[in-house]
Amino acid sequence: MSLRASVRLRRGTLDLQLDVEVADGEVLAVLGPNGAGKSSFLRVLAGLLPPDAGHVTVDGAAWDADGVHLPAHRRALGMVFQDALLFPHLSVADNVAFGLRTRGTGRTAARRAAGDWLTRVGLEGMADRRPGELSGGQAQRAALARALVGEPALLLLDEPLSALDARTRLTVRAELRRHLADFAGSTVLVTHDPVDAMALADRVVVVEDGRVVQTGTPQEIARRPRTDYVARLVGLSLLPGTGSGTQVRLDGGGVVAVAEEARGTVFAAVRPESVTLYVARPEGSPRNVWRATIAGATPHGGTVRCDLAGEVPLVADVTATAFAELGLAVGAQVWATVKASEVAVYSR
């Protein structure tokens, strides 16, 4: 199973030219600011919007091509929207079973499958509730179950977490990550939140004004941003590890001190502007001090983004003046410090 798409679309001021490929089991994040054309791209993939030109091919079958436009309801896809959009007149179970029923599954079998999926997303016992009786997080879980129950070839996620409050977002993001890992088809996630992209995607496509400005793994994007926009957007260093008290033991070795208690498998996220570089080991006793080598340096405007190699891989933003005054260069040995309160921790 795989997706290959090349989409040309003009809508008002939007001029979209996007080419992507997503392999089986791969999660591609399309990251960009509002108005970049991300959602229109997703609607084209879904068949809700015919492209002006280009093609959409899934598992070798043409969904869109010259003279071909498979309508949305004939595409083997599942889609999750920002606001869950559960049908308000149907029970939660009937919502989940909806796609199976329209595709011809019998009532009993559809209901059983819906029940199984509700259990998988942690909504057992909620089958007969109305969508209005669910919390935002529960509704989004049900929407995910509704999209996945039909075992689609392509899963489309349109800002699936941005309508949730911060706390709920953390837990739903972790669950979504788990379900995406189990999902055999291709996934396209559209988001304006770099954390979602970093945490959920295998590969990221950054879109600005309808064009791809950068493609790569989340790590590549974070370390070698090619435009100022990407630099600002995706500077995060994501450090997987295991929480224990106010410490996170990193999977790649090393320990990060954090301000709040953390437990279980987590990500520690560090913003590049939170990292301070020293030529000599700094005075005092900052809790997070690591030796590192500058593996790369990319100037952007008034700052230089430094890619740090060492026990703890980080990205640091240093002002161009400081970079020069400290006599930094690629290959230089430095000390990097980060305040514990500047480290964001979330479960994965």
Say whether residue 313 binds another protein (CB under 8 A): no
Which tokens hold the place of 237?
A: 């260093």
CA-angle at 231, arms to 228 and 237, nearest 5°:
175
| Least separation in angstroms between CB 105 and another protein | 10
Out of 10, 52, 53, 103, the residue judged to bind another protein by CB under 8 A: 103
Out of 89, 166, 182, 327, the residue judged to bind another protein by CB under 8 A: 89
| Least separation in angstroms between CB 242 and another protein | 38
Long-range contacts at 102-109 (CB < 8 A, ≥ 24 apart): 102/73, 103/150
Which tokens hold the place of 123?
A: 């909504």
Say whether residue 291 binds another protein (CB under 8 A): no
The region of 86-94, 175-183, 240-248, 297-305 touching another protein under the rule CB under 8 A is 86-94
| Least separation in angstroms between CB 155 and another protein | 10
Q: Report d(CA 342, CA 75) in Å as an integer.
A: 45
Give whichever of 142 and 266 is closer to another protein, judged by the CB atom.
Answer: 142
Q: Do the strands 186-191 and 154-158 form a parallel or antiparallel pair, or are they unpaired?
A: parallel
Say whether residue 79 binds another protein (CB under 8 A): yes
The region of 9-17, 69-77, 162-170, 195-203 touching another protein under the rule CB under 8 A is 69-77
Out of 32, 78, 243, 313, the residue judged to bind another protein by CB under 8 A: 78
Q: From the DSSP assignment, how many helices (H) and strands (E) are in the chain?
A: 9, 19
Q: Report d(CA 197, CA 161) in Å as an integer.
A: 11
The region of 42-50, 106-114, 197-205, 228-236 touching another protein under the rule CB under 8 A is 42-50
25 near 73, Cβ under 8 Å? no
Q: Report d(CA 158, CA 82) in Å as an integer.
A: 6
93 near 130, Cβ under 8 Å? no
Q: Report d(CA 257, CA 341) in Å as an integer.
A: 9
Q: Do the strands 289-300 and 27-31 form a parallel or antiparallel pair, or are they unpaired?
A: unpaired
4 near 60, Cβ under 8 Å? no
Residues 104-163 that bind another protein (CB under 8 A): 146-147, 150, 156
* Dihedral over alpha carbons 97, 102, 108, 110 (to 10 degrees): -40
Out of 12, 60, 67, 88, the residue judged to bind another protein by CB under 8 A: 88
Per-residue contact flags (x/-) with another protein for residues 231 to 250, judged by CB under 8 A:
--------------------
| Least separation in angstroms between CB 69 and another protein | 13
Say whether residue 185 binds another protein (CB under 8 A): no
Say whether residue 277 binds another protein (CB under 8 A): no
Out of 98, 183, 229, 290, the residue judged to bind another protein by CB under 8 A: 98
Q: Which residue has the tokens 């609607």?
A: 43
Say whether residue 46 binds another protein (CB under 8 A): yes
In angstroms, what CA-CA distances link 34 with 191, 193, 320? 9, 10, 30
Say whether residue 47 binds another protein (CB under 8 A): yes
The region of 15-23, 62-70, 79-87, 218-226 touching another protein under the rule CB under 8 A is 79-87
Q: Which residues are at the interface with another protein (CB under 8 A)?
A: 46-48, 71-75, 77-79, 81, 83, 85, 87-90, 98-99, 102-103, 146-147, 150, 156
